[in-house]
Structure formats: C-alpha cells, structure tokens
Chain A
C-alpha cells in the first residue's frame, strides 16, 4: 500500500493524539487544584457541619441577619427545609441534641422572619391546628426584617471580600426590605456606629422606610430546669389530617409556645425523637409524629418529662358512619 492509498487517517490520528495529550496534561502534569472554593461546593457532610456551625453561632449571637447571609452561601434550595431536615436527622442519628436544637431554633427563626415578610401569623396556642398547606417552593429570598439594635452586615461583591464599608447605625428601628440573591458573597465586615447609611450595604438592595414593621415574634425557649408536665390530652377527629398523628405542643410557664423541645416516642421494639417548632406554619411550639395503627406508644419530653403511656391510634367516625383513624393532641407546659 503506498502513501496515497492510506488516505487521510493520519489526520484523525493527529486529532485523537492531540486530545489524549491534552487530557493527560490536564490530569497528570497540571491537575486541577481545589483552592478558593465557596461553601456551596462543599461535600454534603461538610455542608452539614457548616450549617450546624452557623446554627451554633446563631445560638450565641442571636444575629439572624448574619445567620441568614451565611446560610445563603450554601445555596440550599430551601434554607428552612435544609435546617429542619438536618435537625431531625441529627436527632434520629442520636448525635448532639444541642446541635439539633440549634438547627431547629434557627429553622424556626428563619421561617418566622419569612412569615413576617408575608402575611405571617401562626395559630393561637391551644387551638387544633389545620393541616399545613402544600409547601410552595421559593425561588427567591425576599424578606422584610426590622433591624433593631443589631449590626448590619456589609459585604463586597468581588473576590477579595471584606472591604470595609461605611459604618451603619443600629440604634434606631429601621424597616428594611432585603432582596438577597442566591449567590450572596460572604459577610465580612460589620459596623455598629455612626449614621444610617443604607447605601453602604452592598449585599442587598436596602430600602429604608419610615413604617416600622414589627419584629417577628420570637419563640420562647424552655426555662432551664423546669420539667414539662402534661397539660391536656385529647382525641382529634379531623379528616383533614391524612394520617394518624401524635400532635405535641409545648408551652412555657407563661403559656407561650416553646420551640426546640425534644420529644421522645417509644414503642415495643423502637423509639424515635422529634423537635417542636419545625412546623411553624402550624404552630411555633408544635411537632408531630405519625402513628401506626395497632402500635402502642409512650410519649414524653426528653430529659425527664412526664411520660404519657398507652397511646394507640384512635378510631373516629364521620357523619356518614365512615370510620377513619384519628390523632392525639398533647399539650405540655412548664409549671
């Protein structure tokens, strides 16, 4: 076979060889180095730790604006959902209850601040809650918050973050609307002196108005050392609930709902835990557990609360005589 008879195969050979050399260079000679990454790129277990640390820091400083800005860095589709799920997962896996509680309380605070931006409102304590409406995904994070004696986070947009910005006063109440993009840069500098300067807040569109918006009602936290006792136990027959539930609500001594209370449910051969407050759309001190008909449960507030034994799925009957599974409603209160 002479050279001309071999045709243009050498061109294809050159192309393939070039591609192979390019990949070899990229993978072996100068492989990718992971540096200067963002929290959104973290592996899921590291994201969980990052999220838990945000919650722990929030427990220490109660700075919801800062916590929210940090959470945005993780780019969760639903910040509240991510926090609530992690809180329940932490409890279910028997890891740190303090961490679970911090996650739960931050989830509640996030939900409450979002609710305050919208219509807001939670059922009055003690009322039978209605089933939650289907979750509506939120594509943007627009919320209204009232800043009251808390420092305002300032950030920069470009790579070297943290350029100091003009100080912002925090001594007066401002009603601001924050429109946070999902790709918030990291908060790096905060100030708490001098004159209000909304223009200095670069991470968000900040429009101060003179109409104060009430702060979201802060959910009470349990009084340390005061055990919860059963205040009331009643059967709930409501067809709106699609499955039988152990519905728990926790109240403090002032009859205010308390979130972040760990509830232990035991049955022959198993047990589970859940936190109150992770369904603030029903009630800030509310939590529930799905019962299996025929199983007898014992429920108590974790950490030595009064146990409530012999809870089995109640049967209910509607006006037409149709039978269906009901729920139990338990209200615990601190004396």
Chain B
C-alpha cells in the first residue's frame, strides 16, 4: 500500500514536471500557422485590406482568392463577419462601405453563397 502511494506520487510529480515544462519553461510557440487561424480582429483587417485592394484593382477573382485563405466558408460570409466586427469596433464609414461593396459583388458573383475559393 505504501509502495502504491509513492508510485502515484511519483506519477503526479512526473506529470506536473511535464506540464510545468510545457506551459512555463518552453511553452508552445505558434509558427507556420495559416490565415484562417488569425484572431478575429486580424481577420477583419485582412478583409478590409482585400476590400481596399479590390477598390483599386477591380479584380473580384483576385479578391476571392485572397479571401479564400480565411477558410472554407462562403466568401460573402467571411466579409459579413468582418463588417459586423467593424461595426462593433467603430470602423470608419468609408472602410465599412468598402467591405459592403465587396460583399455585394461577391454575392452577385456567387449568389448561392456556396462558393468559397474560385
């Protein structure tokens, strides 16, 4: 019985040491991630950049390819999410308008909403 007690204690000590090492001494470093893992504010700014570039370039296919990096959701949904975030965070009207225009053009191009990457 005494032996089991010490065995379990050692087990706990080993697990604790592993967790301490993994969480404090050498925590996970996020590298080589993909754009769809970006935090919502970064994703929203990515969408805004796409909308800004689309305004200058007028290339919807290129804009769609850029947005497709943010995941497999319908592209218009991705833009809508960014618009909602922007509205809640006080983006300027002109920025919101750019994104709304992109969303409208995407919906016109992909009316079913099913399309993600072109």
Note all chain B residues with C-beta closer than 8 A to A15. Answer: 10-11, 13-14, 17
Q: Tell whether, in the assembled complex, residue A189 and residue B14 are in contact, meaning their CB atoms are under 8 Å apart.
A: no
Bits for B4-44, please: 1 = Cβ < 8 Å to A, else 0.
Answer: 00111111111111110010000011111111011111101
Q: Does B110 contact A (CB under 8 A)?
A: no
The docked-state distance in angstroms from the alpha carbon of A189 to that of B46 is: 14
Q: Tell whether, in the assembled complex, residue A10 and residue B7 are in contact, meaning their CB atoms are under 8 Å apart.
A: yes
Note all chain B residues with C-beta closer than 8 A to A42. Answer: 32-35, 38
Q: Does B112 contact A (CB under 8 A)?
A: no
Choose one: B3, B6, B22, B30; the contact of A41 (CB below 8 Å): B30
Q: Tell whether, in the assembled complex, residue B95 and residue A190 are in contact, meaning their CB atoms are under 8 Å apart.
A: yes
- Chain B proximity of A31: nearest CB distance (Å): 11
Note all chain A residues with C-beta closer than 8 A to B88. Answer: 162
Q: Does A187 contact B (CB under 8 A)?
A: yes
Contacts A14-B10, A42-B34, A53-B46; A161 near B89 (Cβ below 8 A): yes
Number of A-B contacts (CB under 8 A): 167
The docked-state distance in angstroms from the alpha carbon of A321 to that of B23 is: 68
- Chain A proximity of B45: nearest CB distance (Å): 5
> Do most interface residues of chain A lie in helix, strand or loop, or is the interface mixed?
helix
Bits for A48-61, please: 1 = Cβ < 8 Å to B, else 0.
Answer: 01100110110111
Q: Chain B CB within 10 Å — which of A18, A38, A44, A151 has the most?
A: A18
The docked-state distance in angstroms from the alpha carbon of A10 to that of B52 is: 65
The docked-state distance in angstroms from the alpha carbon of A187 to that of B12 is: 45
The docked-state distance in angstroms from the alpha carbon of A264 to that of B90 is: 46
Q: Tell whether, in the assembled complex, residue B34 and residue A21 are in contact, meaning their CB atoms are under 8 Å apart.
A: no
Choose one: A26, A37, A160, A162; the contact of B30 (CB below 8 Å): A37
Choose one: A14, A38, A49; the contact of B38 (CB below 8 Å): A38
Choose one: B19, B31, B33; the contact of A22 (CB below 8 Å): B19
Q: Tell whether, in the assembled complex, residue A53 and residue B44 are in contact, meaning their CB atoms are under 8 Å apart.
A: no
Contacts A15-B13, A162-B85, A190-B91; A70 near B37 (Cβ below 8 A): no
Contacts A18-B12, A53-B66, A188-B89; A46 near B7 (Cβ below 8 A): no
The docked-state distance in angstroms from the alpha carbon of A188 to that of B95 is: 10
Q: Tell whether, in the assembled complex, residue A188 and residue B91 are in contact, meaning their CB atoms are under 8 Å apart.
A: yes
Contacts A46-B35, A57-B49; A164 near B90 (Cβ below 8 A): yes
For chain A, the count of residues having a C-beta within 8 Å of the partner chain is: 54
Q: Tell whether, in the assembled complex, residue B90 and residue A189 are in contact, meaning their CB atoms are under 8 Å apart.
A: yes
Q: Tell whether, in the assembled complex, residue A39 and residue B38 are in contact, meaning their CB atoms are under 8 Å apart.
A: yes
Contacts A15-B13, A53-B49, A57-B49; A37 near B38 (Cβ below 8 A): yes
Note all chain A residues with C-beta closer than 8 A to B92. Answer: 151, 189-192
Q: Tell whether, in the assembled complex, residue B33 and residue A41 are in contact, meaning their CB atoms are under 8 Å apart.
A: yes
Q: Which of B49-72 contact A (CB under 8 A)?
A: 49-50, 52-53, 55-57, 66, 69
The docked-state distance in angstroms from the alpha carbon of A71 to that of B95 is: 19
- When C-beta atoms are compared, the residue in chain B nearest to A17 turns out to be B11
The docked-state distance in angstroms from the alpha carbon of A326 to that of B39 is: 53
Note all chain A residues with C-beta closer than 8 A to B8. Answer: 14
The docked-state distance in angstroms from the alpha carbon of A191 to that of B3 is: 69
- When C-beta atoms are compared, the residue in chain B nearest to A16 turns out to be B14
Q: Tell whether, in the assembled complex, residue B19 and residue A14 are in contact, meaning their CB atoms are under 8 Å apart.
A: no
In the A-B complex, the 9 residue pairs with the smallest Cβ-Cβ separation, listed nearest first, are A164-B90, A18-B14, A60-B56, A162-B89, A14-B10, A15-B14, A22-B18, A56-B53, A161-B41
Q: A21-B15, A49-B66 are in contact. List 14 more A-B contacts (CB 8 A).
A: A10-B3, A13-B7, A14-B11, A19-B18, A41-B32, A56-B57, A60-B55, A61-B56, A162-B86, A163-B89, A163-B90, A186-B41, A188-B44, A188-B86
A-B contact pairs, 11 of them (CB 8 A): A15-B11, A19-B15, A32-B28, A37-B39, A41-B30, A57-B48, A162-B90, A164-B90, A165-B90, A189-B91, A191-B90
Interface residues of A (CB under 8 A from B): 3, 10-19, 21-23, 26, 32, 34-39, 41-44, 46, 49-50, 53-54, 56-57, 59-61, 70, 73, 98, 151, 159-165, 186-192
